[in-house]
Amino acid sequence: MKKTYKVILIVGILSSQSCDSKKGQTNDNNISSIKTPYLGQEPTSLTPKPFAPDLVSTDHLEVLPAILPSLDEFYFTRQIKGDVSKNLGIRLENGSWKTFMEEPNTGEIFISTDNKIMFLGNKYKERTSTGWSEEKSLGPLYKQISIMRLTSSAIGIYVFDEIDSIGTIRMSVIKNGIRQDPIEMGKTFKSGTYISHPFIAPDESYIIWDCEKEDDYGSSDLYISFRKKMDHGEQP
C-alpha cells in the first residue's frame, strides 16, 4: 500500500519538526527560537491547511503526526529522498522546542492517552524515567498481522489496520481485565479498498479511517463512524 500525504493541521491534530528544506537537515536554532505551543503558527479553523510551511511542511515527505494532549511533546515521520524514513520527536522544554528523538521508522507512532505507551504497529515502547524503553512485541496474535497503525482508547481498546490492497480494520477489547483476540470490524468498515489508518476516540465515541471508493471525493477520503451503543463487547 503506497500513498502520498502532506502534513496538515486539523483542529486537535498537530505535528512539527524544524528543518532547512533546501538542505534537508534539522535546524535546531529555528526550533529553539519558537516558544509557543503551535510553533509560532495561528491555530487553524475547520479548514485543513499545511502546517508551518517551510518549517514543518517542506519539500520532503512529512507524515503521521502524533501529539500529547498537553501539546508539549509530539512526533512525526520524515522521509528524505535517498535516506531511510525516520521518526522524530520534539519536546517543549523551558519554553523552547527541542529535538529529543530521531531514529529509523519502525512503525507509525501513536501515544496512549495516559502518555505511558508508544505504539508502533505490532510493537510498543514504555515510558520510563529515562525515556522510552526498547521495542517490545504486542504478542503472537499481533506479530503475524502486518499492522500499519494501531490506536487505543483511554481504557485500552485497540483498533488497527492491516497492510494489503483491500485493508482490514480489527478491534481488540478488554473483558474482565483480559485482552480479547482481535476481531474484524463490521460492514461499515469493509466498504472500499486501501482501508487503513484508523483512529479511535479516547472515549470510543467515534472511529475515523480512510479508504478509496468509486464514488468518493478523491484518491483517498476520510470517513467517521459514531458509536450508537455503549457495549464495548459489541462488534461495530
In a 10 Å sphere around its CB, with 0-12 CB exposed, 13-18 middle and 19+ buried, how is residue 55 labelled? buried
pLDDT per residue of the chain (236 residues) written in tens, 0 to 9: 444 444 444 333 333 333 333 333 444 445 655 666 676 677 777 888 887 676 667 788 988 888 887 888 878 899 999 999 999 888 888 877 788 899 999 999 999 999 999 999 999 999 999 999 999 999 998 988 999 999 999 999 999 999 877 889 999 999 999 999 999 999 999 988 899 999 999 999 999 999 998 887 878 899 999 988 644 444 44
In 3D space, the residue among 48, 43, 52 whose CA is nearest the CA of residue 19 turns out to be: 52
Under DSSP, the state recorded for 107 is S
206 HSE (CA, 13 A, CB side): 7
Give the pLDDT of residue 32: 59
Residue 15: per-residue pLDDT:
34
Q: Which of 10, 12, 18 is nearest to 96 (CA)?
A: 18
How many whole angstroms separate alpha carbon 179 and alpha carbon 176?
A: 9
Give the pLDDT score at 37: 67
Provide the pLDDT for residue 98.
81
What is the distance between the alpha carbons of residues 99 and 97, in angstroms, rounded to a whole number?
A: 7
Query: Can you name the residues that pair with 120 across neighbouring β-strands?
Result: 109, 123
